[in-house]
Amino acid sequence: MTMNEPKRIHLATLPTPLVRLERLERELGCGPVWMKRDDLTGLELSGNKVRKLEFVAADAVARGCDTLVTEGTAQSNHCRATAAVCAKLGLRSVLLLRPEPKGDPQGNHLLDLLFGADIRCYPRDHFEGDRPAIVDGVLAELSAAGRTPRWVPMGASEPIGCWGYINAMAELADQLGAANMSDCDVVLPVSSGGTYAGAVLGVLLHRLEGVRLLGVPVSDDVAYHTREIGDLCRRCIDEFQLSVDFADAAMRFVDGYVGEGYAIPYASAIEAIRLLARTEAIMLDPVYTAKAFSALLDGLKDARLGRERPVVFVHTGGVFSDFAWPAVLLTERP
């Protein structure tokens, strides 16, 4: 255990496997490609969010909170994982969703309902314009009703949530050591930033000098992530007195894979989903991992990746949202 590590509640199935994608390598004729299967942290609790929520939930319980309140879209993996954690721990979850989902509940949203989440829906513009007032209003309403709510920021990307991937990097380092690969490129998707922030801090804290972390933004531009994730790292360092030397240069982003915007898929990302499905029987998701994996595939193609050193993709999960996008996944069949 690292010094100053906060308490966690064990919810994820760890360690997740580190596997080599040999059939993909053969298909592409490329160097070694590995995958850290963080899509296998659980079923209902699958993906990266549960690693962060283990710390957030422990904090909430320690403070006597009985309700977690958070926000996202109807296909938010974070909202689904939060609802699952709450069901498991006997807490209540309140999800602020935008925009209001239409039609039969599907994918993550279906699970939110089954996990018993209290769901409030808002038009996107209304939520974005009045966010602080809406959040304060919901927290005040819950308190007035005798609950003790804890707000969880989007993606659980808050300093304590960063511990999920600070620890995941130690776990990965052990597996890399066992496979004799201390030098490698590690590629992962970036959105609310807690995963990448934790990974960067983990690499520094555990002194993994051979690990080069490449974050692939899937929602916002590099300037935004540099500012937000830099800020999150500094807040985490302050709060937990981490003895690391952090500078913005520790963050490396691969630009150009957002497409038209968050959760708007594009052809090469959809193709990445199909490629991995038919070669490895592994499902990526259209919002996060498919975009980051298409960055990895481009890197393999022009030999920026996978030549001198193996490349490791962190599969952060998201499979349930595939079931909300059947038409998109099946159009433009090769």
Ligand X SMILES: *Cc1c(COP(=O)(O)O)cnc(C)c1O
Q: How far is the CB of 200 from ligand X (least distance, A)?
A: 12
User: Contact with ligand X (CB under 6 A): which of 101, 286, 299, 318?
Assistant: 318
Q: How far is the CB of 320 from ligand X (least distance, A)?
A: 10
Complex with ligand X: residue 27 or 106, whichever CB lies closer: 106
Q: How far is the CB of 218 from ligand X (least distance, A)?
A: 7
User: Contact with ligand X (CB under 6 A): which of 168, 316, 324, 329?
Assistant: 316
Complex with ligand X: residue 173 or 229, whichever CB lies closer: 229
User: Contact with ligand X (CB under 6 A): which of 192, 236, 283, 294?
Assistant: 192
Tell me whether residue 144 is exposed, middle or buried, using C-beta atoms within 10 angstroms of its C-beta: 0 to 12, 13 to 18, 19 or more: exposed
Complex with ligand X: residue 59 or 158, whichever CB lies closer: 158
Q: CB–CB of 298/30 below 8 Å?
A: no
Nearest 5 degrees, angle CA 328-CA 329-CA 334? Answer: 110
Complex with ligand X: residue 34 or 196, whichever CB lies closer: 196
Residue 47 touching ligand X (CB under 6 A): yes
Residue 164 touching ligand X (CB under 6 A): no
Q: How far is the CB of 140 from ligand X (least distance, A)?
A: 27
Q: How far is the CB of 146 from ligand X (least distance, A)?
A: 32
Nearest 5 degrees, angle CA 79-CA 84-CA 89? Answer: 125
Complex with ligand X: residue 33 or 190, whichever CB lies closer: 190
Catalytic, 143? Answer no
Q: CB–CB of 210/184 below 8 Å?
A: yes
User: Contact with ligand X (CB under 6 A): which of 41, 157, 167, 294?
Assistant: 157
Residue 189 touching ligand X (CB under 6 A): yes
Residue 93 touching ligand X (CB under 6 A): no
Question: Which residues are near ligand X by CB under 6 A?
Answer: 47-49, 77-78, 155, 157, 189-196, 285, 288-289, 316-318
Active site residues: 76
